[in-house]
Structure 1
Amino acid sequence: MKKIAWIIGLILIVVLTGLFWYKYLFVFGEGVKAGSLNYFVKKGVIFKTYEGRVVQEGFQSPTAGGLQSNEFRFSVVDASVAEELERSSGKHVELRYKEYNGILPWRGTSKFVVTEVLTIKDGGKTDSSALPYDQ
């Protein structure tokens, strides 16, 4: 009887470990998002995490007939990536991210975790050589 209990206990531990891994550690998707960095903050009560929001160009409508700004809310774990983003508020940024199935408190409040800043461009300036007319 003890042998069956050990086998059932071991199977239960393996299944629960697999479910935890799939829910919180499995990278569901990876990608790149670009837009204007609206804000970037470090916040939290117990776990201080970096959180930010990028406003993307265009509009997205969750319901027919409505307009809503397309926002990308994200978290950052790496301190060097956070330092880059802290100096980039209001600028156009391209961010590489990983998407997880679940949220861990020490990883942030978003399923999207930015891993790299690809480019940072000044949002307000235009390249005058690209304009089709003389100034």
Structure 2
Amino acid sequence: MSLTFDGTVLVPVADPDDGERTAAALAPYLSPSSTVLVVNVIEKAGGAPDKASVEQREEYAREIFERARGPLAERAGSVETAVLFGTDVVETIFEAAVDRNADAVVFEPREGRRFVELLTGDVARRLVKEARVPVVALPEDDG
């Protein structure tokens, strides 16, 4: 069975390495008609002071997007980026997917210890359990 994303996919990424890895894992499944929207969610503290300034986080997001564009450049019809702000990362991702009529949210699960996942709310698990659009977890690259 062959899977190809011909429409719009929203790809949440957390850091530059994640952006590059996820883009490389996604690239083989793209076609010239694919639109990839790479997003980085800046989690707002919801009343508490933020850990870093918005400017610092936006600069970090630009670095993420730069690294993600490389593997996608020759495979996707278009690559767009967006910095999203929200107090709930998963909710913010799905709101963006619905607002932008994305056909799917596509991500590569990151390795993590179960204890860390419990503390962070396990975004990957929530993406699947709370899906409002199709969600695709890319297979781990063994190469």
The structure whose residues are more often helix, as a share, is: 2
- TM-score normalized by the length of structure 2: 0.22
The structure whose residues are more often strand, as a share, is: 1
- TM-score normalized by the length of structure 1: 0.23
